[in-house]
Amino acid sequence: MRSRTSTSHALLAASVVLASLSLTACESAVADPAVQTTETQYVVEDAASEQANADPSAISPDLPDPCALLDPASIESVVGLAFKDGQFNAILSSTDLAVCEWYASGDSYSTVQVQVEPMTGTFDEAKATAEADYGATTDVTVPGADEAFTAQDGTVVELAAAGYLVTVLHYADEWTDLTDVTTGLAELAAANL
C-alpha cells in the first residue's frame, strides 16, 4: 500500500525542480551585444512648474486675466505686507474659470486669490452656492460691483460686475475678521475688470 505522503512529496519535489529550471533559464539569458541600448529619459512635470508656465489666454481665453486685476503694490497698500507677483493657477483654471494667486514675501502665510468666471445665473444663486461652500454670507458694498457679499469672517468676498462673478479670497497669519481688507482688494479687482 502506497502512502499519500510519499506521493505528495514527489509532486512537491517535481514542482520545485521545474521552478528552479525556469529560473535558471531566465538567469542564463545574455543580452545580444549587437543590440544597442539607449538611455531612457523621463520628464517629470510637477504642478508648480505647470502652474508657473501657464498661459491664461490658452486656458481661459474668454475671461479677463485674473492676474491683471491686482498687482503686488496694490495688494500691499491694502494688506500692509509685501507680495510677490501673481501666478496664474493652471491647475484650478479652466475655460470657464480663471484663477490667480499672490503670496506674501518673507515668512508670512498671507495669500490672495482672485477667481473670475462668467455670470451664468442670478447673484442669489451664486450666493446660495457660496453659503453651501463657505457658510453664512453678509451683503457688503463694493464700489464698482453690482452686488457683493462676504463669507468666512471676511476671508471671501464675491461680487458681480461687468457680467462676471469675481471671488476674492484673502487668508492671513491670524484668523480674524478680514472683511475690510478683503473688500478693499475686491474693490481694486472690480475697478480693473
Q: Is the confidence at residue 23, as pLDDT, over 80?
A: no
Helix (H) or strand (E) holding 152: none
What digits encode the pLDDT tens for the residues 109-168? 999 999 999 999 999 999 999 999 999 999 999 999 999 999 999 999 999 999 999 999
Degrees, nearest 5: CA angle 48-169-51 = 15
33 — pLDDT class (breaks 50, 70, 90): low
Of 38-47, 92-101, 113-122, 160-169, the one with minimum mean pLDDT is 38-47
Q: In the block, which residue shows the cell 475686491?
A: 186
Degrees, nearest 5: CA angle 62-78-103 = 65
Helix (H) or strand (E) holding 5: helix 4-27
Nearest to 127 by CA among 84, 165, 70: 165
Each domain of the chain, given as residue ranges in start order, spans 47-191
pLDDT, mean of residues 29-37? 51
Percent of the chain exceeding pLDDT 70 equals 73
> Which residues, 6 or more positions from 116, have their beta carbon under 8 angstroms from its beta carbon?
60, 63, 64, 66, 69, 97, 98, 99, 164, 165, 166
pLDDT of residue 174: 86
Give the global pTM. Answer: 0.72
What is the CATH code of the structural domain delimited by 47-191? 3.40.1000
The grid cell for 76 is 500691499
Question: CA 9, CA 18: separation in Å to the nearest integer?
Answer: 14
CB atoms within 10 A of CB 83: 22
> Which residues, 6 or more positions from 118, have their beta carbon under 8 angstroms from its beta carbon?
62, 63, 96, 163, 164, 165
